[in-house]
Amino acid sequence: MTLGAELGTFDHLPLDQDREISSIVPNRMNLSGLLNDRQLEAATTLDGPLLIIAGAGSGKTRTITYRIAYMLAQGIPQSHILALTFTNKAAREMTERVREVTGKKLTNLTTSTFHAFGVKILHEQIHTLGYRPNFSIYDQVDKTEMIRTVARELSVSRDSIDLFALSALFSGIKTKRTTWESANDQYRELYEEYQGHLKAYNAVDFDDLIMLPVEIFESSPEALEHYRERYRYIMVDEYQDIDERQYALVSALAGRRRAAPRARAAPGPGLGLAVHHLDGRRSRLRGAALRRPL
């Protein structure tokens, strides 16, 4: 197992906002005015797995942004780059920033949340699982409503169910965080009906947005290969927040590129870069990083 290159902390930043240039073509030279040495090293190291661990507000997201700009300047097609974040706002800001820096139209760059990325894959591939492409996405309210309907159909007494708890249980079962055991087994039939209803209504819930793409990758080697070919440079901001299923999604995509750079015969694109906070939660993050190697 390797964590790739650990780049330590980004200390003592030259916070010189005046040096911001809108529309530069980044190369090592002019990036050096915008990033400190450690950031520059991370932004310009494109091969192999790379893990950045640095403190809050130290410029990790900035480094990813300039790393994308650097990749584009190196001639890497936008379509090969995937930057995943946890909020829509962060994804939008990243795209906007790369656009400002490069002055390029970013029609093929994918900066996205995990869920939005899941939606994209489902739009392209959900037919392989027997759904129609115009599927609906059920939010929490739709989900509880569906559980209520299913419970009524199975004549489960209203008083004996807590919709909120059931919704959480179903989520746990679907994402494999929870298993069926004697304490919850009486809800198994309800869950199976719920799943059947979703499919019948051509609908997916939020958990499916991550789970179904993983299922597609597991069941269709051609689909997986297609996405592996496409997304050759994958970056995850706030990597410490990744959960098991998101990790399954991203590591399936990264595939053989997860191999340590030194272990590979030839250099090549890699699972780009993951970003950790280091702010008193070090041991937890260390643990998370070790469980989820790049």
Ligand X SMILES: Nc1ncnc2c1ncn2[C@@H]1O[C@H](COP(=O)(O)OP(=O)(O)OP(=O)(O)O)[C@@H](O)[C@H]1O
Q: Does 38 bind ligand X (CB under 6 A)?
A: no
Which pair of tokens denotes residue 189? 């039939």
Q: Does 44 bind Mg ion (CB under 5 A)?
A: no
Report the residue number, 111 or 125, with the smaller CB distance to ligand X.
111
Contact letters for ligand X, residues 40-59 (x by CB under 6 A): ----------------xxxx
How far apart, in whole angstroms, are the C-alpha atoms of residue 258 and residue 275? 16
Question: What does the DSSP 8-state code read for residue 277?
Answer: E
CB of 56 to ligand X, least distance (A): 4
Q: How many residues bind ligand X (CB under 6 A)?
A: 16
Give the CB-nearest residue to Mg ion. Answer: 61
How far apart, in whole angstroms, are the C-alpha atoms of residue 265 and residue 263? 7
Please give the residues from 216 up to 235 whose contact with Mg ion meets the rule CB under 5 A: none
Please give the residues from 91 up to 150 whose contact with ligand X meets the rule CB under 6 A: none
- The maximal CA–CA distance of the chain, rounded, in angstroms, is 70
Report the residue number, 59 or 269, with the smaller CB distance to ligand X.
59
Q: Is 262 exposed, middle or buried (0-12, 13-18, 19+ CB in 10 A)?
A: exposed
DSSP 201-252: TTEEETTHHHHHHHHHHHH-HHHHHHHHHH--EEEETTGGG--HHHHHHHHH
Which pair of tokens denotes residue 142? 């739709």
CB of 9 to Mg ion, least distance (A): 14
Report the residue number, 60 or 276, with the smaller CB distance to Mg ion.
60
Please give the residues from 12 up to 31 whose contact with ligand X meets the rule CB under 6 A: 13-17
**Partner whose binding site includes residue 29, from ligand X, Mg ion, none (CB under 5 to 8 Å by kind):** none
Question: What does the DSSP 8-state code read for residue 292?
Answer: S
Q: With helix as H, strand as E and coil as C, how does 15-63 read?
A: CCHHHCCCCCCCCHHHHCCCCCHHHHHHHHCCECCEEEEECCCCCHHHH
CB of 95 to ligand X, least distance (A): 15
Q: Does 61 bind Mg ion (CB under 5 A)?
A: yes
**Partner whose binding site includes residue 32, from ligand X, Mg ion, none (CB under 5 to 8 Å by kind):** none
3-state secondary structure of 86: coil
Give the CB-nearest residue to ligand X. Answer: 59
Query: Contact positions toward ligand X, by CB under 6 A?
Result: 13-17, 35-36, 39, 56-62, 277
Residues in contact with Mg ion by CB under 5 A are 60-61
